[in-house]
A = this chain, B = another copy of it.
Amino acid sequence: MKLYEQTALQISERIEKGYFLVGDKLPSIRELSQSHSVSISTAQEAYRLLEDQGWAESRPKSGYYVLDRQNTPLNLPNITRPSQRPLEVTHWQEVLNLLCANYQPDSIQLSRAIPDLDAPSIKPLTKLLADINRQLPTRDLLSYETLRGSDKLRLQIARLMVDSGCQLHPDDLVITNGCQEALSSSLLALCKPGDIIAVDSPNFYGSLQIIKALGLKALEIPTHPETGISLEALELALEQWPIKALQITPTCNNPLGYTMPTEHKRKLLALTKPYDLAIIEDDIYGDLAYQSPRPPSIKSMDEEGRVLYCSSFSKTLAPGLRVGWVAPGRYLNQVMHMKYVVTASTSTQAQLGIAEFIAQGGYERHIRKMRQQYQNNRDYLIRLITEHFPDGTRMSYPLGGFVLWVELPGDIDTVEMNKRAELFNTSIAPGTLFSASGKYRNCMRLNFAQRGDERSDKAVEQLGLLAKAMIKEKQTVQ
């Protein structure tokens, strides 16, 4: 643990023990530096971390104050209890409905995990793309990129990945058409039909659909909404089943929002070592962790090349660019073959534009702003839901990204709820999409990327009213 982390921990423990109460002014940076014998910059770092963790807020020209963190009751969902057998993935039709929904231009889309694309800090990227199209010779712009992807972009990504603890060479990376192709190339490289893939549960519907399409079976592992996949349950599953690979999103999980504690990540690697288990780590939201520096990836701890690290710019920048990457470790050759087979190469222009955006510092600037916005939006949405949703509603407490998992009381069917929400032009992602076998029917995922306004507040309020009405209906019928 670094010094600033220790310092922050000491403060947060005092808050927990009641030495500082909500609204209390905390020691100034200078005071903290003196009382803890740390440098000014360490004290600053400690406060930044306390802010990220939701313990403190800074008030301009005044100092740091204890935040009303405890007053936002964390009604977290319980650890999940999925089926204990490998299953074929059902439901494609519902995913298709989600993807092909014909949204009204003025609808409130809380369904898909699309980042805020109106943020001013993304605008320089489109300007760069325009410049590239004006200035580069058509020959450079329009030809096939190499199979691995643009040298320039891979260099920039290797640099970015140092933040997650990875020391990779650009040639360890393969650029893909979004994270989806990183995941599909990895699963194609590792598996043949009938193989069993262990997954955290709930799990991103995109990866579940790969499992379905390739004729694989999903073994859903119980998952805790704060610490992630249950290591005990995974260990038992490994003893019991011939698991071919593990696919998880351990940092800023989609849909649950947790980040596996670093120690758990280490343990996960250790306990899967005897099985030489391949781990497909989806880190697409990792750079959107609210804490700084961002948590390390499992890949950063992998000494055996067993981790196939998958990511993209779809959540940090923009999904329409379709630029992702995979660091496949010892499976590099197989994954490169699959990437070629599936799409041959990735759009040249988007790669060049993103590489330049990162090189000019635009990526860092944008991410810093988005993290703050998403964290604020999370707190706001949690308050709204606490206010408007039925008693007994539980929800996740995301530590990064921009999706919230909401578990409704009783047995409210969120597929039905989503249909009825069309009436007020609002869409949600029903929980069933995130399970191989249609579990989580009383859950939903909500996107909170956009800056809220009256209309989106109203939509959340209406969802709450709808949930209450559906509970009442059930009670009347019974």
Q: Using A343-B177, A347-B321 as known contacts, say yes or no to A338 and B213 having CB atoms under 8 A apart.
A: yes
A80 to B27, alpha carbons, bound, how many Å?
A: 84
Say yes or no: is A264 at the interface (Cβ < 8 Å to chain B): no
Say yes or no: is A155 at the interface (Cβ < 8 Å to chain B): no
A143-B114 in contact (CB<8A): yes
Interface 1/0 per residue, A105-125 and B, CB below 8 Å: 000000010100110001101
Min Cβ gap A381→B in Å is: 20
A148 to B99, alpha carbons, bound, how many Å?
A: 9
A320-B178 in contact (CB<8A): no
Say yes or no: is A81 at the interface (Cβ < 8 Å to chain B): no
B213-A337 in contact (CB<8A): yes
B321-A142 in contact (CB<8A): yes
Say yes or no: is A346 at the interface (Cβ < 8 Å to chain B): yes
Say yes or no: is A41 at the interface (Cβ < 8 Å to chain B): no
Say yes or no: is A241 at the interface (Cβ < 8 Å to chain B): no
| In the complex, chain B residues whose CB is within 8 Å of the CB of A346 | 177, 322
Tally of A interface residues using CB under 8 Å: 66
Contact partner of A117 (CB less than 8 A), chosen from B127, B143, B181, B192, is B143
Q: Name the residue of chain B whose CB is nearest to the CB of A323.
A: B347
Q: Name the residue of chain B whose CB is nearest to the CB of A112.
A: B144
B336-A96 in contact (CB<8A): yes
| In the complex, chain B residues whose CB is within 8 Å of the CB of A210 | 341
Say yes or no: is A126 at the interface (Cβ < 8 Å to chain B): yes
Contact partner of A347 (CB less than 8 A), chosen from B146, B184, B215, B347, is B347
Say yes or no: is A133 at the interface (Cβ < 8 Å to chain B): yes
A141 to B181, alpha carbons, bound, how many Å?
A: 21
Which of chain A's residues 367-410 have a Cβ closer than 8 Å to chain B? none
B341-A184 in contact (CB<8A): yes
Which of chain A's residues 174-230 have a Cβ closer than 8 Å to chain B? 176-178, 180-181, 184, 188, 192-193, 206, 209-210, 212-215
Q: Name the residue of chain B whose CB is nearest to the CB of A103.
A: B146
Say yes or no: is A231 at the interface (Cβ < 8 Å to chain B): no
| In the complex, chain B residues whose CB is within 8 Å of the CB of A141 | 126, 318, 320
A297 to B86, alpha carbons, bound, how many Å?
A: 45
| In the complex, chain B residues whose CB is within 8 Å of the CB of A348 | 320-321
Say yes or no: is A342 at the interface (Cβ < 8 Å to chain B): yes
Candidate in A143, A336, A340 with the most chain B CB atoms within 10 angstroms: A340
| In the complex, chain B residues whose CB is within 8 Å of the CB of A126 | 133-134, 138, 141-142
A147-B99 in contact (CB<8A): yes
Q: Name the residue of chain B whose CB is nearest to the CB of A338.
A: B213
A180-B343 in contact (CB<8A): yes
Say yes or no: is A129 at the interface (Cβ < 8 Å to chain B): yes
A320 to B95, alpha carbons, bound, how many Å?
A: 30
| In the complex, chain B residues whose CB is within 8 Å of the CB of A127 | 133-134
Q: Name the residue of chain B whose CB is nearest to the CB of A346.
A: B322
| In the complex, chain B residues whose CB is within 8 Å of the CB of A129 | 129-130, 133, 349
Q: Using A100-B148, A322-B345, A349-B129 as known contacts, say yes or no to A340 and B209 having CB atoms under 8 A apart.
A: yes
Min Cβ gap A120→B in Å is: 9
A99 to B125, alpha carbons, bound, how many Å?
A: 29
A160 to B138, alpha carbons, bound, how many Å?
A: 24
Say yes or no: is A310 at the interface (Cβ < 8 Å to chain B): no
Min Cβ gap A28→B in Å is: 39
Q: Using A100-B147, A322-B346, A349-B350 as known contacts, say yes or no to A142 and B130 having CB atoms under 8 A apart.
A: no
- Please, could you name 16 A-B residue pairs with CB atoms under 8 Å apart, sorted by A? A99-B147, A112-B144, A117-B143, A122-B142, A123-B138, A126-B141, A141-B320, A142-B317, A145-B320, A177-B177, A177-B344, A178-B345, A181-B342, A213-B341, A320-B345, A321-B347
**A interface list, Cβ under 8 A from B:** 92, 95-96, 99-100, 112, 114, 117-118, 122-123, 125-127, 129-131, 133-134, 137-139, 141-148, 176-178, 180-181, 184, 188, 192-193, 206, 209-210, 212-215, 317-322, 336-338, 340-350
New A-B pairs, 18, CB < 8 Å, besides A96-B147, A122-B142, A188-B213: A99-B147, A117-B138, A117-B139, A118-B137, A122-B138, A126-B133, A126-B141, A129-B129, A129-B130, A130-B134, A133-B133, A145-B320, A177-B347, A180-B341, A206-B340, A321-B349, A322-B343, A322-B345
